[in-house]
Amino acid sequence: MLHYLATPSTLLGTLLAVAVGLFGHNLAQAWTARGLGDRSGTWDGFGTLTWRQLDPLGVVAFLLTDGAWGFAAAVPMDLRPRRRTRAVVALLAGPVFLLALTGGFSAAFEQVTDPLSFAGKVLYAAAYSCAGLFVTSMIPIPPLALGRALWLFAPPVGGWASARYRLEDENLGRVIALVILLIPLVISSFPDLVGEFVTPLLRDFRVYSR
């Protein structure tokens, strides 16, 4: 993160994306769930802008990764089998919001005459970070959004229930996600799994075409 101090435009764009992206991800989930009849998230304070939205390990990932990627705290939800379809829709509302935000920043970047201007660098950094947040949310491990959604279809047996508990409630899933994000910083030969998806995603939004 220290090199960001020399490029305030990149720092501003990254902070903008992370602030809007992480909080918006959880607000989208909480309010979508509420619209579908599940008030668990809003009752627990996830329907407003509070610091409870931030996950400590997600903040660590944000501070240590060059792409400023992290993840938010898991929004409480009714995950009983009879509400599975509604829960999946609510969980995926977070990644959909991040993808839309990536598209919004990318579209704004396309309108900048000089991509190397201060505004251009801010919008590029914002689009890049939002894309990273979206890809991170799609890691299929609870408590990340796609992981929680996929786990709803796990067989209703003790082994799967125990695994879910360890991944989500005992924070093992958060640790695994943190390792996936940070290991490329420690082992240079290890592929940056999130970055490998960010580049083609931004290319689809035409950000890399300029």
- Whether residue 160 is predicted with pLDDT greater than 60 in this model: the reply is yes
- Whether residue 209 is predicted with pLDDT greater than 60 in this model: the reply is no
- pLDDT of the residue at 207: 63
> What percentage of the chain has pLDDT greater than the value 90?
37
- pTM recorded for the entire structure: 0.89
**Which of 171 and 7 is assigned the larger pLDDT?**
171
- Whether residue 134 is predicted with pLDDT greater than 80 in this model: the reply is yes
Q: Which domain holds residue 7?
A: 2-209
Q: Give tens-digit pLDDT for 55-108.
A: 888 777 776 776 557 788 889 999 888 889 999 999 999 999 999 999 999 999
Contacts of 125 (CB under 8 A, 6+ apart): 9, 10, 11, 12, 13, 14, 17
**Which of 37 and 64 is assigned the larger pLDDT?**
37
- pLDDT of the residue at 24: 93
- The count of structural domains within the chain is 1
